[in-house]
Structure 1
């Protein structure tokens, strides 16, 4: 079986040695963001490849191939047969449970979260644990790219609080020999809070302002957030991360139909087509879309706007799978950048934030939200905003929507 799956990998044009080289290029401590020697020693990445092959006949079993590829040592592969109708039902139920604030019953082994964990991760659960893997680059084909993996549950813990991870629509986007992530020194921080015909986003100015205090960058808000600002990215080689907090929409038809709303209208994602070429030797480290439902596209491009940002040449991109409360989103990203500034790899910073949300470690004191270390995240919250925070953000709705594409390190 293992030989068969390895042959399938080669048929797809993905060489295992190439994948291993990608991993080896990022675990060199001298080139990592991680500053703590103990963290470096325990940092163990791997690729998890998921290949779902739908049988044309819905009445027959479809195939799911799961392959774990470490930077060294043997790869492990498992093939399972699954009922496509039941699998589709579970995926729909799972997405509905997570994105609608429906109560989770993780103690129930028949819940969609538990059953999908058993299907997608379970066959290699022991291998991942025994090899002490900490970080996974998940390469999933069509049908699995929009799964909120963070909210899968093994009966004891959420997948997203156990592992740092990212998704990629194709391993071909992961360049061999590309250097590991470096400390992000200067960013472009932009957002819009008022729109014509769209709901306002009152937390955006707070979010951008707080991130600007954590990471050096140029800030553009509302009327100053223009098309020229984004077009300038191809020329400003010193900008190594981008954070956009605004409305966005992904429409069928690719980049030309997908929009990011600015302070002076909207811009098509096709505008980023030249960015990859212009920044090929100096790619943007991280492109974050702190906006509504930016990681979910159509059947032909499941990873939506964030996937298009990744294709524009960024090493990593962050988007959301569903519409998330703006207070929770702002708190999430402020805490995320604070951890990045302390030397956490990108995927590990997201894992840490997910764990803090899931364990109710975001605290309301007076009119301010505080993180687990007692630092202020957001000040001067309104009565309504305070009420939302008191209701807690431990449900996966608030922390499982944000997904990272590309490099998790």
Structure 2
């Protein structure tokens, strides 16, 4: 892989353009063209086998440095290698790109699709199934981003992807042959790839891959059904069908423990689908009980308890669930203990609260021991084992928040929420990438500073808030979280659709559909605390789910006034990352780095940027003169950043270049000259090469794009400041024109240097664009910019 040395050089190395890699030439989906020379088929297969062996035992370490050199083979012969050799080689190259943090999801998708098509044309069903399965896992991690600053293309949103799935025609493998279909179509590609993997694996007699593909497909469809009410019934039915198909394959898996685990998960998916159809799973649980290990015995008992409950025999159901709890507790890592206690809460509603809180306690005991990703399906441990427990614990605490117990209950619910948010961050980014911080204390809030905690539950919306005390300069005054009356006319799905409507319309900038959604969202989220928002106030939001992609500043009140015209706005992923910040006038040692060149990388093609050089200079110049303690690097690379941050103290780092937070969150990156820099790498640069202690005060990312409708991917932007080790960040939720970005940044830095806080400077810069009218007043421009973290 000749591009690897250029794209992912060491921290201190400068990158140079690389020749086209063998994998880029050999693994194109339409089939390899006529190359000048080829490697021998035997060499391809040996390299693929060595790579697969290393990838199978990769553990927590990134395998890229070990595997990539072995795949960069010399070419000397004129004979084209066999389809088998090409398929095996491209499947290994694609898997490396998929699993490595240094890999490219775009390349992974390309290589794996090339591997599938090569195998499919030659009738190699086993190789086709492996490539298709891996392709499905790539797509589940999000659409590979190409990075297009300033583009006015409309965000598609999750509803469009669901419609594409519903409109798919033909068999799943036929769809993968139509290469044009799969470009930027993550959900349809996932559905087609996993369905095809199961079909091909079954034909090849690979029952393990067939069962796992059906399991992953079933869980994907259930996830879509949970988020999309209109498509819910169809997707649940299809999830149950996929799981039912997978059971026949799972029963033929040789390894007894794996067989019982996969059968249990498939049976659980059938029950979770709630199709109303009678399903006989007695043979499944009997087979699982035949595997004499606690995990299989416990899982079988829990499934039998659910079946007894469905049949109306609650006494038997509770007894069986008690058996499951006892058996699960005998395991070294009783990962399903919280889940079984939640199920017991459903079977014993009279004692629901006690069972749910016991589930939460059980989760807290095992949470540090859970792997970040499930080894079978590669779902996050958070989505598999944690989310429902956290939501249940918050639910029961707030449900009892009445009368004299209200204050204590709300405080407990908020503490659980904070643990929830931090656990989700650690799950998405990895605990090693999240620097420890103490949560903000409500008593440190000043008068006029309001913290809002929206909680999206399946059956309602809850709002917690805390307002600051006296502005005595010390943050004094009583402050505690309060609960507003729950909104039972609003739930997670409904609110998520409103956010999608607003964001898709705003990011496209071509229609006014966002207005009605924005007014509704204001009434739902802001109006209940409107009385707290006085002149000079600050609203800090800890958003949940889809709200992470929402530009709160653009919400409209009944007089069609934007929220930013009433108050300053900031957001944070958790209280631990929403400290107010310090009033520090001596804070503008600034480094601005820009990229204007067109760059072609494995992560995609990044267009030439016309305005970033001028934007970087604006950050460092006042009234035509360079301010003291500021540095500008044009067409920067990683080595430039390392040198500058080692040489000088820097408070503000302004990066005027492409950046993307789509796909797997550990692959969030900024684009430099000839290379990408992962956010995790940027944090290493900042922490290892700083000449002073403490965190970077402000990171400005002026050219970003985030995922819409994906809870985990939408955390990428919020996690940028956290991962980079900055107290706060200003970034764009979608690509913005060069002119609009430059105008907003010019005003922001002028005001920030004059002593305004970050939130004040950003608000006044946004108001300035609104006041100018014309194109600059379009919220597509100014509303994209958001402040994350410290607001002072």
Q: Is contact 1:243–1:289 with CA below 8 Å preserved after alignment?
A: yes
1:215-268, Cα deviation, whole Å (9 max, x unpaired): 44111001xx1102233466356111100101112232223x222111232222
Deviates more, 1:279-288 or 1:116-125: 279-288
User: How far does residue 293 in structure 1 lie from its aligned partner after superposition?
Assistant: 1.7
Q: CA separation in 2, counterparts of 1:200 and 1:220? A: 17
1:45 equivalenced with 2:449 (yes/no): yes
1:267-299, Cα deviation, whole Å (9 max, x unpaired): 222213435755694211110011132697953
Q: CA separation in 2, counterparts of 1:17 and 1:85? A: 29
Q: CA separation in 2, counterparts of 1:65 and 1:350? A: 26
Q: Is contact 1:193–1:202 with CA below 8 Å preserved after alignment?
A: yes
1:310 equivalenced with 2:717 (yes/no): no
Q: CA separation in 2, counterparts of 1:294 and 1:318? A: 14
Q: Is contact 2:662–2:707 with CA below 8 Å preserved after alignment?
A: no
Q: Is contact 1:260–1:266 with CA below 8 Å preserved after alignment?
A: yes
Pick one of 767, 774, 778 that aligns with 1:395: 778
Partner residue, 1:244: 655
Partner residue, 2:500: 92
1:317-359, Cα deviation, whole Å (9 max, x unpaired): 0111111111101111111101111111110111111111112
Unaligned residue ranges in structure 1 (runs of 5+): 28-42, 56-60, 362-390
Structure richer in strand, relative to its length? 1
Partner residue, 1:64: 462
3-state secondary structure, aligned to 1:235 = helix
3-state secondary structure, aligned to 2:598 = coil
Pick one of 351, 369, 379 that aligns with 2:763: 351
Pick one of 469, 483, 494 that aligns with 1:77: 483
Q: CA separation in 2, counterparts of 1:298 and 1:233? A: 36
3-state secondary structure, aligned to 2:606 = coil
User: How far does residue 139 in structure 1 lie from its aligned partner after superposition?
Assistant: 1.3
Q: CA separation in 2, counterparts of 1:12 and 1:261? A: 35
Deviates more, 1:237-246 or 1:44-53: 44-53
CA distance change for structure 1 residues 294 and 192 in 2, over 3 Å: closer, same or farther? farther
User: How far does residue 48 in structure 1 lie from its aligned partner after superposition?
Assistant: 1.8
Q: CA separation in 1, counterparts of 2:619 and 2:536? A: 31
CA distance change for structure 1 residues 51 and 19 in 2, over 3 Å: closer, same or farther? farther
Partner residue, 2:416: 11
Deviates more, 1:73-82 or 1:120-129: 73-82
Deviates more, 1:332-341 or 1:190-199: 190-199
Pick one of 153, 173, 178 that aligns with 2:577: 173
Q: CA separation in 2, counterparts of 1:116 and 1:241? A: 33
Partner residue, 2:280: none
CA distance change for structure 1 residues 396 and 144 in 2, over 3 Å: closer, same or farther? same
Partner residue, 1:198: 606
Q: Is contact 1:194–1:200 with CA below 8 Å preserved after alignment?
A: yes
User: How far does residue 20 in structure 1 lie from its aligned partner after superposition?
Assistant: 2.2
Structure richer in helix, relative to its length? 2
1:159 equivalenced with 2:159 (yes/no): no
TM-score by length of structure 1 reads 0.76
Q: CA separation in 2, counterparts of 1:202 and 1:6? A: 50
CA distance change for structure 1 residues 301 and 355 in 2, over 3 Å: closer, same or farther? same
Q: Is contact 1:293–1:319 with CA below 8 Å preserved after alignment?
A: no
Q: CA separation in 2, counterparts of 1:87 and 1:104? A: 18
1:193-223, Cα deviation, whole Å (9 max, x unpaired): 111332211111211122221344111001x
CA distance change for structure 1 residues 73 and 184 in 2, over 3 Å: closer, same or farther? same
Q: Is contact 2:591–2:650 with CA below 8 Å preserved after alignment?
A: yes
Q: CA separation in 2, counterparts of 1:174 and 1:281? A: 20
Q: Is contact 1:181–1:285 with CA below 8 Å preserved after alignment?
A: no
Deviates more, 1:93-102 or 1:284-293: 93-102
TM-score by length of structure 2 reads 0.41
Pick one of 525, 541, 548 that aligns with 1:145: 548
Q: CA separation in 1, counterparts of 2:439 and 2:662? A: 37
3-state secondary structure, aligned to 1:172 = helix
1:22-58, Cα deviation, whole Å (9 max, x unpaired): 43xxx6xxxxxxxxxxxxxxx73232222222x2xxx
Partner residue, 1:383: none
User: How far does residue 182 in structure 1 lie from its aligned partner after superposition?
Assistant: 4.2
Q: CA separation in 2, counterparts of 1:118 and 1:154? A: 7
1:266 equivalenced with 2:673 (yes/no): no
Pick one of 340, 344, 353 that aligns with 2:752: 340
Name the Cα RMSD after superposition.
2.9
CA distance change for structure 1 residues 272 and 292 in 2, over 3 Å: closer, same or farther? closer
Q: Is contact 1:246–1:262 with CA below 8 Å preserved after alignment?
A: yes
Partner residue, 2:695: 283
Q: Is contact 1:307–1:405 with CA below 8 Å preserved after alignment?
A: no
Q: Give the number of aligned pairs.
A: 346
Q: Is contact 2:589–2:649 with CA below 8 Å preserved after alignment?
A: yes
Partner residue, 1:135: 538
Q: Is contact 1:184–1:240 with CA below 8 Å preserved after alignment?
A: yes
3-state secondary structure, aligned to 2:633 = strand
Deviates more, 1:232-241 or 1:344-353: 232-241
